[in-house]
Amino acid sequence: MSTLTAIVLTYNEEKHLPDCLTSLAWSPEVLVFDSLSTDRTLEIARAAGARVEQRPFDNYAGQRNAALKAIQTEWVLFIDADERTPPELAQAVQAVLSQPEAGWWIPRHNYIFGKLTQHAGWYPDYQLRLLRRAQAHYAAGHPVHEIVKLEGTAGYLSTPLIHINYETVAEFIAKQKYYAAYDAQGLAAAGVRAKAQHFLLQPLRHFYWRWIQLAGWRGGWHSLRLSLLMSYFEYEKYRILANVNHQC
């Protein structure tokens, strides 16, 4: 039996999936776990030799837990369709499968607007993706920013994944709007109420964190733009929270 399955969660990923699967050609098994795509995703997956399973999407934690139950191998490597696994990372993964750890954190190289982004909090961007299947599951209370519950210790790899993240400013803004609304709902559920000072202090604190504490200034204009955008969406989060508070 193979010791590793690479799992790619998909929904209408015909743009990114071919390069993703090409980068996973080294993996003994590849499972494309699909959320009822309507484009060429399934055709591409099968043509690349991947096994395909489908499940209606409820949330990311639920989808990943279902994918874990769909395989039998000791290890699983979760890869997103917009990520690539370079040969050096493939070698690093294979080298640790005999180690006692229950999982491994993998750093990511994020390409934002086509530029490798290594400042303002975008690197090392560690992701817990290499998991011993029987010792891992995803917490049900975190449906978007999934959290792995691991029975055992985790190590850290040094070779990064490649993440083709946010190709355009419009894509970035649309995704951050979604995250701001999600985070605002979480704050409201926790009983947090928006106060006047939040609209100024929270964006300023966020900018200081990214630009100064996380050395965003080393990234020049590119990191400045990202830091300002992320600070603006801190404002958006509390604006949405205030609306939710008003409706309650």
Residues 6+ apart with CB under 8 A from 218: 119
Encoding tokens for residue 11?
């929904």
Q: Which residues does 170 contact at the CB level (< 8 Å), separation at least 6?
A: none
141: tokens are: 């209370």
Show the tokens assigned to 45: 């997956």
Dihedral angle sign, alpha carbons of residues 3, 107, 163, 19 = negative
Confidence class for position 145, pLDDT limits 50, 70, 90: confident
Average pLDDT on 68-72 reads 96
Average pLDDT over residues 208-221: 97
Look at strands 83-84 and 103-106 and give their pairing. Answer: unpaired
Q: Residue type at 188?
A: A
- Summary count for the chain: helices (H), strands (E): 7, 13
* Pairwise CA distance, residues 22 & 47, whole Å: 11
The helix (run of H) or strand (run of E) holding residue 154 is: strand 154-156
The CATH number that domain 4-165 falls under is: 3.90.550.10
Say which range, 3-12, 24-33, 46-55, 184-193, has the weakest mean pLDDT.
184-193
Question: Which tokens is 34 given?
Answer: 């699909």
Q: For the CA atoms of the chain, what is the radius of gyration? A: 19
To which H or E segment does residue 197 belong? none
Confidence of residue 155 (pLDDT cuts 50, 70, 90): very high
Whole-Å CA distances, 67 to 47, 52, 57: 20, 11, 12
Asked if 210 contacts 227 with a C-beta cutoff of 8 angstroms, the reply is yes
What are 117-144's pLDDT values in tens digits?
999 999 999 999 999 999 999 998 766 6
User: pTM surpassing 0.85?
Assistant: yes
Task: List every span in the chain annotated with CATH 3.90.550.10.
Answer: 4-165
Q: Rounded mean pLDDT of the chain?
A: 95
* The pLDDT value given to residue 248: 76
At residue 105, the 3 state secondary structure works out as strand
Q: Where are the alpha helices (DSSP H) in the chain?
A: 17-23, 41-47, 60-69, 87-96, 169-189, 198-208, 220-247
**Which distant-in-sequence residues (6+ apart) come within 8 Å of 18 by Cβ?**
44, 48
The label of the residue with tokens 């990202």 reads: 226
Give me the mean pLDDT over the 206-231 stretch: 97
